[in-house]
Amino acid sequence: MDEALTKLTLHNGLLVLLKEIHTSPIISQWIWYRVGSRDEVPGMTGSSHWVEHMLFKGTRQFPTGAIDRAINRDGGYLNAFTFLDWTSFFETVPADKIDLPLRMEADRMFNSLFDPDEVTSERTVVISERQGSENEPLFRLSEEVQSAAFRVHPYHHEIIGDLTDLYTIQREDLYRHYRTFYLPNNAVLSIAGDFDTQTMLDRIRELYEPLPAGSQPPRLARAEPPQSGERRVSVEGPGETVYLQVSYREPSADEPDFFALNVLDSLLTGPTNLNMFGGGITNKTSRLYKALVEKELAVSINGGVQATIDPYLYTMMITVHPKHTASDCIEAIEAEIKQLQDAPPANEELERAMKQARAIFAYGSESISNQAYWMGFSEMFATVDWFTTYLEQLSTVTPADVQRLAQTCLRPQNRTLGVYLPNGAAQ
């Protein structure tokens, strides 16, 4: 598990991270672009995600559909993700088939066609994707909470974008977005698996060094002012079930307090599993499970931190028990938080959180895709050292740190509450 990691920057600014892992005959390649929904102005919301879709719609070398078919033919799988801060594409393939994904990613960084007919066809696909999400009460609730929590910062809008923009964004808008952000000097290439580093590096240089650097794209920098009071939203919709979302403004991932928040999260709602591939653990002995589910105020509670560039949201999602209300749950949550604000947790609780984190890391390290994911992911908001020293940093968190975080981060004035209320329209 201690395979050496190679990190270097090509002349055109492309950051390359390589890690040899010889446990399976597999290689996973990820390419990350520093562009996400936070880089979109009103009228263009959803464009990062739509551009991600368009990168599957062909280049001259790899026409529409050819990429998926070619990777599948080799036994590999691929996907892409758009997030608040980044967009990433990955392919995991048998080790002897890695050349195709290497060529393909280098090609579509510059040569994606954005054929107008394909843009038209994809518009309805993206709208369908959004409509599928709208079917889910939790999507509708979290979209409202997100927009209430961020008045100024572009974290304000959902990654998939607003429907009105999805109807009006044009091909030229998307293509401009692509050409602005899809540059070697705005990208990170992370590859893990069964390869020889020097051979892999030679091939990467061959494919990527001819690509020119561009002007470093500016990122939208509209800092959210400090929150000065609790915000509340409600969403009405069909069904019988009440959901409560409690979201606190959290530290950004590169702040030391982010690690203390992870420990706090472990204690309150069970540890967040930041792995893309690899299992997590249940949370039935967490403080809030005991206070809400065991007391039958809620049917379930889950919590999670998000590793982001700017402060985002530490979110708890609660399915309210049919015999209780969201207010009952809020009261119980506040009582539990107050205990942590009044007294630091015992050392044993921190040791337990550490073992949980160590186990989750072990589960994640089984997957080569997950290891390649982590290298690039951590570069999106910090550096790869963030990942390699994660457990070490977590172990420096003290009970006093956790108490301080509970006092500062988990104040009512720092949160947005959202409630999904069934409107009785169900059959």
Partner 1 sequence: MSIHSLPGLDDITRRVLPNGIIILTRPNPGSLSVVISGYVMAGAIFEPDDKLGLAGFTALALMRGSREHNFQQIYDALEANGASLGLDGGTHSVGFYGHALAEDLELLTKTLAEALRQPVFPPEQVERLRDQLLTGLAIRAQDTSEMASLAFDEMVYAGHPYSRPEDGYPDTIRAITRDDLVTFQQRYFGPRGMVISIVGGVEPEKVIDTVVRSLGDWENPAQPQPLGLPALKPLGAMVTRQVNISGKSEADIIMGVAGPPRRSADFLAASVGNNILGQFGLGGRIGTSVRERSGLAYHASSSLSGGIGPGPWLFLAGVDPNNLDKTIALMRQEISGFVTEPVTGEELADSQANYVGRLPLSLESNAGVAAALLNLERYELGLDYYLRYADLVNAITADEILETAQRYLNPDCLAIAVAGTFASSG
x-marked contacts with partner 1 along 266-285 as a string, rule CB under 8 A: ----x------xxxxxxxxx
Tokens of 46: 């959803």
Binding status of residue 419 toward partner 1 by CB under 8 A: no
Q: Which is nearer to partner 1, 192 or 316 (CB)?
A: 192
1-30 positions binding partner 1, by CB under 8 A? 1, 22-26
Binding status of residue 63 toward partner 1 by CB under 8 A: no
Report the residue from 75, 116, 210, 256 that binds partner 1 according to the rule CB under 8 A.
75
Q: Which is nearer to partner 1, 98 or 309 (CB)?
A: 98
As a dihedral over the C-alpha atoms of residue 129, residue 311, residue 307, residue 256, rounded to 10 degrees, the angle is 180
Smallest distance from partner 1 to CB 31, Å: 19
Helix (H, G, I), strand (E, B) or coil at 394: helix
Calculate ∠ Cα 4-6-12, nearest 5°.
175
Query: In whole angstroms, what separates CA 211 from the centre of its chain?
Result: 28
Q: Which is nearer to partner 1, 217 or 280 (CB)?
A: 280
Report the residue from 111, 120, 198, 339 that binds partner 1 according to the rule CB under 8 A.
120
Binding status of residue 304 toward partner 1 by CB under 8 A: no
Instruction: Give the binding-site size for partner 1 (rule: CB under 8 A).
Output: 81
Binding status of residue 166 toward partner 1 by CB under 8 A: no
Of 62-70, 181-189, 198-206, 383-391, the segment contacting partner 1 by CB under 8 A is 62-70
Q: Which is nearer to partner 1, 194 or 224 (CB)?
A: 194
Report the residue from 48, 82, 92, 272 that binds partner 1 according to the rule CB under 8 A.
92
Instruction: Give 421's strand partners.
Output: 236
- Under DSSP, the state recorded for 291 is I
Binding status of residue 355 toward partner 1 by CB under 8 A: yes
Binding status of residue 368 toward partner 1 by CB under 8 A: yes
Query: In whole angstroms, what separates CA 80 from the centre of its chain?
Result: 12
Render 85-150 in DSSP notation, one character per residue.
S-EEEEEEEEGGGTHHHHHHHHHHHH-----HHHHHHHHHHHHHHHHHHHTSHHHHHHHHHHHHH-
Smallest distance from partner 1 to CB 408, Å: 27
Binding status of residue 115 toward partner 1 by CB under 8 A: no
Tokens of 303: 């919590």
Q: Which is nearer to partner 1, 305 or 360 (CB)?
A: 360
The answer to whether the beta carbons of residues 334 and 268 sit under 8 Å apart is: no
| Distance from C-alpha of 195 to C-alpha of 84, rounded to nearest angstrom | 32
| Distance from C-alpha of 316 to C-alpha of 303, rounded to nearest angstrom | 4
Q: Which amino acid is at 353?
A: A
373-412 positions binding partner 1, by CB under 8 A? none
Q: How many residues does the chain have?
A: 427
Report the residue from 30, 32, 50, 56 that binds partner 1 according to the rule CB under 8 A.
56
Binding status of residue 164 toward partner 1 by CB under 8 A: no
Binding status of residue 74 toward partner 1 by CB under 8 A: yes
The answer to whether the beta carbons of residues 210 and 184 sit under 8 Å apart is: no
| Distance from C-alpha of 302 to C-alpha of 287, rounded to nearest angstrom | 11
215-244 positions binding partner 1, by CB under 8 A? 237-241
Neighbours of 326 (CB within 10 A): 22
Q: Please give, one letter per residue, the 3-state secondary structure of 149-177.
A: HCCCCHHHCCCCCCHHHHHHCCHHHHHHH
Residue 50, CB-side half-sphere exposure with 13 Å CA sphere? 35
123-162 positions binding partner 1, by CB under 8 A? 123-132, 134-135, 137
Binding status of residue 362 toward partner 1 by CB under 8 A: yes
314-343 positions binding partner 1, by CB under 8 A? 319, 321-323
Closest CA to 178 of 237, 114, 134: 114
Of 37-45, 184-192, 349-357, 372-380, the segment contacting partner 1 by CB under 8 A is 349-357
Q: Which is nearer to partner 1, 34 or 140 (CB)?
A: 140
Smallest distance from partner 1 to CB 140, Å: 10
Q: Which is nearer to partner 1, 229 or 240 (CB)?
A: 240
